[in-house]
Each structure stands twice: as structure tokens, then as C-alpha cells.
Amino acid sequence: MSEPTSDPPAEAVSEPPGIEPPRVLERSLDRGTLLAIGLRANLLQAAWNFERQQGLGWAFALEPALRRLYPVREERLARLAEHTAYFNTQPTLASIALGAAARVEEERAHGTGGDAASMARLKAALGSTLAALGDRLFWFSLRPFAAAVGVLVAMVHPSHGWGAWALWLVYALPHLALRFGGVGWGYTAGPAMLSGAFRERLERAVRWLALMGCVVLGVALAWALAPGGEPRPIAVQCALAVGLGAGLLTAQGARPSPTRWALAFGLLGLILAWRFHG
Amino acid sequence: MKEGAWLGTLVVGGLAALDGTPVAQTLASQPLVTATILGALWGDWSTALGVGVVLQILAASTLPIGARTPEDYSVGGVVGAGVALTIAGGEPFEQVRQAASLVGVLAGMVAATLGVPLLRWQRRWNEGLARWCERELRAGREGALAESQGAAVALAFAIGLAVTAFWLALARWGAVRIEHESLRLAGAWHLLQPLWLGFGLAQLLHAFVQRRLERAGVFAAALVGAWLVIVAGAP
């Protein structure tokens, strides 16, 4: 596929001399290829490392497109090796970057795209922009929201697996939809995908999730204080209040991590149990 | 049955290590989900979910941002529920199950914390793999890419499985001692479980509110409203 797939339009003949008519590029990556990229995007972080981060997974995910675009083996291997270089972004939204990169790679194969350096610049720009959007949406909003919903459902129905289902569905449905759909969107729109409308939609989702998260946490705390309408013993309510206060205080600083604080509370609890319980 | 449950727990440990970072990242590796699977495997929902809920609320504020290596709650969650179920396995007494839950949560947190250097080692090993892959591709070996991906996945699975096996063996070894101390441990669980729950809820609340008054107001309104509905609606 290294040759242009479409001839210049017939009207081009009438163009003034010296002005080249715009070339209409025929899209050569079919749905199957885009689906294969989406499937392989699940392994984007398989060989995550400090040096190239998602680089290897990126090249692996893009391979079906490169296989179609570069039938000459040597050329394809050179492109693949190029793509193993550093890349990092939020893993769900990486699909959009993969689609956009497949489109640019297609233009490159047809001789209308840039070179290796421009591809590296594009990857860096897509990676940082999508990371900024995706971290806020998936890591700071959707993941805690899914956890809060899961914990609430598990507290209300402690003898069923509904909490796990709720957590998994709330997160995995949008995650998988974007992972598979994102490749197609990125390919159709190219790097312009990151325009204002898309950003605006994600920002709105972040705000909505934060508000809904506050509601879910309010209900979860009310249920923790009085499960099924039966208020828990005062000692338990006090422990819950102490935990809340400690959590709000320790959340002001990034270190020590919440896990280390929780471990410290655990050890303190054990010491107290040994001291006063026998 | 027990042998099957142990074997299943080991496999869940390996699969959770995969879902955590290397494969798919669907949150199927979150402590609540893996605890639910283990609860079904061992036939003990209450112990598994008791541990799963606490570890989940703590894991929720542990985020894998950028190049940061966070605590490994994927394997930690399986270790926590697995240890608790191993100790509580078949015990008729509630206090032993509560003691097992406490030990499970602590084991899960320790395993998650100790998982950080292990993950870092794994990621450094992957650096060599990536360099090897690029060299092989430039030398004309197209299959090197799939091979290196496969090797990284196999390593992650093996580590998850091995760590889970280590902790289950430790739990089996220490089960009798924990049963002896179950009265004290159960007492500690009664206070620590709500304390950890409150601590985790507060961490999440802080993440959602982000010093915005209207969000704090929404939380307060939901708390009061839900309290009234729950208490007034109780039989």
C-alpha cells in the first residue's frame, strides 16, 4: 500500500499550472484491522517499563495497520522498530491515539504524510493531551466512583456478589466501549479528535461523576452508621467518625500513602487489643 | 474441595496480576471483585466480602498515574481474601472468622505494599525485553514483538501466582496460632473495620469534593437524606 490508491480527480486538469489539486486519500484500513488494533490495545501495558513505558505495547497494537500499509517486510519492520520508542498515556484513551496514528501512518505510506520525526511529535502531543484528559476522567473520577458504588452495593447486600458486578460494570462498560470504539474515532477524525467538543464532553463527565460520587458516599456513610435502619453501637460509630476525621486530615498530604496510614492504624489497633482485651 | 479452592485462588492471583496493569485493566482485579470470586469458590461470602470491602475502599484512592508504581492491590486483594478464607475455612465460630478477616486485611495491605518493589523489578526486567525486541526487529525477526509481549504477560501471571501461593502457605502455617488469639483479634476487628471504612470513605470524599463547597453540600444533603430514609423506613 505504499503507492497512492486514488488518482487525481478529473477536474484537476483545469487547475492553473503550478497549483497541485488536493489529493483525496482513499481509506485503506478496514473495520477488521481497526478491531484488531482495539483488541491488541488490551496489551498496551503488557511490557510496561520505566524507559519506554507503553512503547512496546503501542507497536504491538499498531502492527495490524502496519502489516496492511507496508507489504514490503523490511519497510514494515523499520516502522515497527520505530514505534517501540517511548510512548505513554492513559491506557483507555490510548485507543484514540492509536486510531489517529494509524491514519497518519496511512498517509505516510501513501507518500502524503510526514516522516519519523513528525510521527514522534504527534505521538508525544497525543500522549500528553490524552493523559491529561484520561487521568482526570478514568483515574480520578470513574475509578473512585465505581469503587464507591461497588462498596455501597456490597454493604447493602453483604451476602451476594452484586457489589462486585456493580463496580465492574460501572467502570468496564465505558472503558471497553472507548477502548474498542476509540480506535475508529481516532482513525476517522485523526489528531483533530482532540478538539473542543470532545474535551468539553469529557470535562462534563468529570464534573457529573464528582457530584454523583458525593451522593453515593453520603448514602454509603449513612448506611455504615445504621445498616438497615438499625444504628450501630456507639463505639462503632465513634470508630467510623475517627476514621473519617483521620482520612480527611491525611488526605491533605500525598505522603505517607493511605495504605501506610491504614497499616499504622491496624498496628495501633492490635496493640490496644492486646493491652485491654485480656 | 479445599484443594480446588486453593488452586482456584492461585489462578485468581495470577489473573488479577494480569488485569492490574499488563492486560485489559477492566478493574476485574479490584479487591471487591476478586474477593467475591473467592467467596464463591470457598463458599464463604461473609468473610470474603468483609475483607473485600475494606481493601476495596483503601485501594480506591491508590492510583496508577504516570510512571508512579502504586501499591499492588490487584494481588494484595487476592492475598487478603485468600488468607482470611484459609484461616476461617470451615470454622463454625463467628469470632474466628472475624479474626481471620482482620488478619486478611492486614496481610492484603502488607502484600500490596511489598508488591511495589516487586513491580519495579518487573518493570526494569521489561526494559531489557523492550531493548531486545527493538534489536531483533531491526535484525529482521518480526515475531520478536509478540514473543516479548507474551514473555511479559507470562512473568506477570507467574509473579501474581507465586506471591499468592506464598501468602496462602503462610496463612496455613499460622492458622492455629490465629485461632488461639481469635478473641483479641475479633475485638480489634470490631473497631478497626469501621475505622478503616471511615478512613477510606474520607479519602474518596476528598478526591470528589476537591475543596468545592457545593460538592460538600451535596454530600451532606445525601448523608442526611439517606439517614432519614434508612432510619424512618426501617421496620
- Cell numbers for A263, please give them: 497499616
In percent, how much of chain A has pLDDT > 90?
Answer: 74
Tell me which of A42, A44, A45 to substitute to probe the interface with B (most B C-beta atoms closer than 10 Å): A45
In this prediction, residue A10 carries a pLDDT of 38
Are A163 and A240 contained in the same domain? no
d(CA B34, CA B111): 15
Buried-exposed string A115-126: b where 16+ CB fall within 10 A, e elsewhere: eeeebbebbeeb
In this prediction, residue A19 carries a pLDDT of 46
Are A179 and A278 contained in the same domain? no
Q: Quick check: is A82 in a domain?
A: yes
Using the 3D structure, point to which of A190, A219, A248 is the last residue of a domain.
A219
How many Cβ contacts (< 8 angstroms) between chains A and B?
A: 348
Using the 3D structure, point to which of A219, A245, A270 is the last residue of a domain.
A219
Are A135 and A251 contained in the same domain? no
Average pLDDT over residues A62-81: 94
In this prediction, residue B233 carries a pLDDT of 79
A218 contacts B221 by C-beta, under 8 angstroms: yes
Q: How far apart are the first and last CA of chain B?
A: 40
User: How many domains is chain A built from?
Assistant: 2
Chain B positions in Cβ-Cβ contact with residue A246 (cut-off 8 Å): 195, 198-199, 202
pLDDT in tens, A121-154: 999 999 999 999 999 999 999 999 999 999 999 9
The length of chain B, given as a count of residues: 235
Per-residue confidence at A4, pLDDT binned at 50, 70, 90?
very low
In this prediction, residue A3 carries a pLDDT of 39
Q: What is the 3-state secondary structure (H, E, C) of chain B?
A: CHHHHHHHHHHHHHHHHHHHCCCCCCCCCCHHHHHHHHHHHHCCHHHHHHHHHHHHHHHCCCCCCCCCCCCCHHHHHHHHHHHHHHHHCCCCCHHHHHHHHHHHHHHHHHHHHHHHHHHHHHHHHHHHHHHHHHHHHHCCCCCHHHHHHHHHHHHHHHHHHHHHHHHHHHHHHHHHHHHHCHHHHHHHHHHHHHHHHHHHHHHHHHHHHCCCHHHHHHHHHHHHHHHHHHHHHCC
In three-state secondary structure terms, A49 is strand
d(CA B74, CA B60): 11
- Cell numbers for B66, please give them: 504516570
Chain A positions in Cβ-Cβ contact with residue B142 (cut-off 8 Å): 73, 76-77, 80
pLDDT in tens, B155-168: 999 999 999 999 99
d(CA B151, CA B155): 6
Cβ–Cβ gap B148/A176 under 8 Å:
no
Are A153 and A61 contained in the same domain? yes
Closest of B18, B43, B42, B20 to residue B31, by C-alpha? B20
Are A52 and A150 contained in the same domain? yes
Average pLDDT over residues A49-66: 95
* Full residue range of the structural domain in which residue A10 is found: 1-219
- Cell numbers for B201, please give them: 470513605
In this prediction, residue A255 carries a pLDDT of 81
Chain A positions in Cβ-Cβ contact with residue B71 (cut-off 8 Å): 257, 259
Cβ–Cβ gap B23/A43 under 8 Å:
yes
Per-residue confidence at B186, pLDDT binned at 50, 70, 90?
very high
In this prediction, residue B3 carries a pLDDT of 86
Are A202 and A237 contained in the same domain? no
In this prediction, residue A2 carries a pLDDT of 38
The CA–CA distances, whole Å, from A236 to A133, A214, B187, B199, B205 equal: 40, 23, 11, 13, 20
Strand runs labelled E in A119-202: none
How many Å is the maximal CA-CA distance in chain A? 99
- Cell numbers for B67, please give them: 510512571
Per-residue confidence at B235, pLDDT binned at 50, 70, 90?
low
Sketch the domain layout of chain B as residue ranges.
2-185
Are A205 and A274 contained in the same domain? no
The CA–CA distances, whole Å, from B29 to A147, A264, B67, B76, B170 equal: 12, 25, 20, 10, 22
In percent, how much of chain A has pLDDT > 70?
Answer: 90
A45 contacts A54 by C-beta, under 8 angstroms: yes
Using the 3D structure, point to which of A171, A186, A219 is the last residue of a domain.
A219
d(CA A187, CA A175): 18
- Indicate the residue type of A200: E
Neighbours of A248 (CB within 10 A): 17
Ramachandran sector of residue B84 (left: φ over 0; alpha: ψ -120 to 50; beta: rest): alpha
Which chain A residues in 210-229 lie under 8 Å from chain B, judged by CB atoms?
210-211, 213-226, 228-229
Q: How close A112 comes to chain B (CA, Å)?
A: 25
Residue A240 makes CB contacts below 8 A (sequence gap 6+) with: A221, A224, A225, A232, B194, B195, B197, B198
Are A240 and A178 contained in the same domain? no
Q: Quick check: is A67 in a domain?
A: yes
Q: How far apart are the first and last CA of chain A?
A: 79
Are A153 and A244 contained in the same domain? no
Tell me which of B15, B25, B124 to substitute to probe the interface with A (most A C-beta atoms closer than 10 Å): B25
pLDDT of A226 over the 90 cut: yes
Are A184 and A278 contained in the same domain? no
A31-40 and A162-189 helices, crossing angle to 10°: 130
Are A210 and A238 contained in the same domain? no
Are A191 and A269 contained in the same domain? no
Tell whether A241 lies on the interface with B, counting CB pairs under 8 A: yes
In this prediction, residue A94 carries a pLDDT of 96
Cβ–Cβ gap B226/A270 under 8 Å:
no
Per-residue confidence at A276, pLDDT binned at 50, 70, 90?
confident
pLDDT in tens, A146-203: 999 999 999 999 888 899 999 999 999 999 999 999 999 999 988 787 777 888 889 9
In this prediction, residue A68 carries a pLDDT of 94
Average pLDDT over residues A29-55: 95
Q: Which residue in A53, A175, A236 is closest to B26 by CB distance?
A: A175
